[in-house]
């Protein structure tokens, strides 16, 4: 997988969950935005905020800024995670760059600010009191429109913003969640680290008009329902991660789950695509038929239905696409590294 990873552009995405004080079951909503039709990757899709990892996200100047703000001990604690399996995206052989546990989180926070005008951060006071209980912090009392435009046009301005406001990105509230690779059948391929952040309050969003046509706060179930009724279109990672969140009804439980498994590490999720008679099937890690060496730039065509492709397979982990808005998730075993599996929400259960 290490060699294959070199062919994918590194990126970071952020699953932003905020408590909905007017709701109980679930008591949280997720923030997604819609890509414009002219987007070069996944146009018109509803996605979590995120984007390409930049050199400015891993400059040693960040470490100097964190040290100046008195965050040295917190950084050391962060880079000790995870103690379990370290996904390939967190491996870095550049001795001059800061650790990927830091830089990928910076990238996710920067992209969220570029796209939606929300900055997750901590000041000296909050750093001095510790990294807290796992909930995120954000700040809105500055000229966000001005800085959002600057950072969007030049990623190096994000460090300047943090220096000017005397804040640091709130790395400690971003919890490792998953690591998705774009299937090799796509021309543009990304190696994306997904983080989750939990918020006690809903931040005010300022959308960046070139990258964002619309945004919404909805429950995971509402997004999935909209996908299945063709009101929106969700890419496979969004379908999977929203379906995984169906296991939770309380934001506190999601946050605690992420904290408890933060040392466990992650598996890379590289979907391996097959074309069956009635569906496109993405095999996922742990499926008995899953093998990275079977990942091709051209999708293999099988003279089988998706059901026939499952016959005789003991361990099943896959997504079956019967149409653009008709996906069925199948998993019949416990995932490794303490992670939780998705719940299939498609009303068309299929055989």
- pLDDT at 72 (0 to 100): 81
Residue 6 has pLDDT above 80, yes or no: no
pLDDT digits (tens, 9 = 90+) for 162-205: 999 999 999 999 999 999 999 999 988 999 999 999 999 999 99
The two structure tokens encoding residue 206? 């300022």
- pLDDT at 83 (0 to 100): 72
In the numeric block, the tokens 């994306």 are attached to 192
Contacts of 144 (CB under 8 A, 6+ apart): 117, 119, 206
**Sign of the dihedral defined by the CA atoms of residues 276, 280, 285, 287, in that order:** negative
Q: Using 50, 70 and 90 to split pLDDT, how confident is the model at 5?
A: low
Q: What is the architecture of the domain spanning 9-262?
A: Alpha-Beta Complex (3.90)
Say if CB 150 and CB 52 are below 8 A apart: no
Give the least confident one: 119-123, 126-130, 251-255, 316-320.
Answer: 126-130
The two structure tokens encoding residue 268? 């890379």
Helix axis angle, 157-165 relative to 61-68, nearest 10°? Answer: 10
- pLDDT at 4 (0 to 100): 52
pLDDT digits (tens, 9 = 90+) for 101-159: 999 999 999 999 999 999 999 999 888 877 677 899 999 999 999 999 999 999 999 99
- pLDDT at 118 (0 to 100): 97
Q: Using 50, 70 and 90 to split pLDDT, how confident is the model at 95?
A: confident
Using DSSP, state whether 73 is helix, strand or coil: helix
Which uninterrupted H or E stretch holds 119? Answer: strand 119-123
Please report the beta strands in 184-331, taking only residues with DSSP state E, as ranges in sequence order.
190-199, 214-218, 268-269, 272-275, 280-283, 317-323, 326-331
Q: Using 50, 70 and 90 to split pLDDT, how confident is the model at 80?
A: low
Classify strands 167-169 and 9-19 as parallel, antiparallel or unpaired: unpaired
Say if CB 298 and CB 272 are below 8 A apart: no
What does the alpha-carbon distance between residue 39 and residue 45 come to, in Å, rounded to a whole number? 9
The C-alpha angle with vertex 253 and arms to 106 and 251, in degrees rounded to 5, equals 65
Where do runs of H (alpha helix) occur along 166-311? 220-228, 236-244, 251-260, 306-310
Q: Domain ranges in the chain?
A: 9-262, 272-331
Task: Kindly state the greatest CA–CA separation across the chain.
Answer: 63
Q: Using 50, 70 and 90 to split pLDDT, how confident is the model at 37?
A: confident
Residue 266 has pLDDT above 80, yes or no: yes
Say if CB 105 and CB 53 are below 8 A apart: no
- pLDDT at 229 (0 to 100): 96
Residue 60 has pLDDT above 90, yes or no: yes
- Number of Cβ within a 10 Å radius of residue 106: 26
Q: In Å, what is the CA distance from 332 to each residue of 24, 315, 319, 326, 327?
A: 29, 6, 12, 20, 17
Instruction: Look at residues 157, 207, 217, 183 and name the one whose alpha carbon lies nearest to residue 41.
Output: 183
Average pLDDT, the chain: 92
Q: Using 50, 70 and 90 to split pLDDT, how confident is the model at 85?
A: confident
Mean pLDDT value of segment 244-248? 98
Question: How far, rounded to the nearest angstrom, does the alpha carbon of residue 118 sit from its chain's CA centroid?
Answer: 16
Residue 40 has pLDDT above 80, yes or no: no
pLDDT digits (tens, 9 = 90+) for 221-238: 999 999 999 999 999 999
Using DSSP, state whether 23 is helix, strand or coil: coil
Higher pLDDT: 58 or 3? It is: 58
Which uninterrupted H or E stretch holds 179? Answer: strand 175-181
């Amino acid at each position: 997988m290490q060699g294959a990873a070199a062919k994918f552009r590194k990126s970071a995405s952020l699953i932003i969950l905020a408590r909905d004080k007017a709701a109980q079951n679930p008591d949280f909503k997720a923030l997604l935005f819609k890509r414009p039709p002219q987007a070069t990757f996944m146009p018109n899709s509803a996605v979590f905020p995120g984007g390409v990892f930049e050199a400015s996200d891993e400059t040693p100047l960040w470490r100097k800024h964190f040290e100046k703000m008195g965050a040295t001990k917190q950084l050391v604690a962060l880079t000790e995670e995870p103690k379990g399996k370290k996904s390939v995206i967190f491996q870095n052989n550049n001795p001059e760059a800061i650790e990927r546990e830091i830089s990928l989180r910076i990238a996710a926070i920067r992209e969220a600010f570029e796209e939606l005008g929300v900055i997750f951060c901590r000041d000296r006071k909050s750093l001095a009191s510790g990294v807290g209980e796992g909930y995120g912090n954000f700040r809105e009392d500055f000229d966000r429109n001005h800085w959002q435009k600057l950072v969007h046009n030049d990623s190096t301005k994000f460090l300047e913003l943090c220096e000017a406001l005397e804040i640091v990105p709130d790395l400690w509230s971003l919890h490792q969640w998953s690591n998705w690779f774009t299937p090799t059948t796509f021309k543009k391929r990304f190696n994306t680290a997904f983080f989750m952040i939990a918020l006690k309050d809903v931040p005010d969003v300022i959308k960046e008009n070139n990258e964002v046509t619309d945004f919404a706060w909805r429950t995971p179930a509402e997004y999935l329902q909209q996908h299945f009724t063709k009101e929106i279109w969700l890419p496979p990672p969004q379908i999977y991660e929203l379906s995984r969140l169906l296991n939770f009804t309380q934001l506190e439980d999601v946050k605690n789950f992420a904290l408890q498994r933060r040392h466990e590490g992650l598996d890379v999720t590289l979907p391996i695509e097959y074309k069956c008679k009635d569906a496109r099937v993405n095999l996922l890690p742990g499926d008995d038929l899953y093998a990275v060496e079977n990942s091709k730039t051209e999708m293999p065509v099988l003279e089988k239905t998706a059901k026939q492709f499952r016959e005789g397979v003991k361990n099943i982990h896959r997504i079956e696409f019967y149409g653009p808005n008709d996906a069925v998730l199948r998993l019949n075993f416990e995932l490794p590294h303490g992670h939780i599996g998705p719940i299939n929400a498609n009303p068309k259960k299929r055989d």
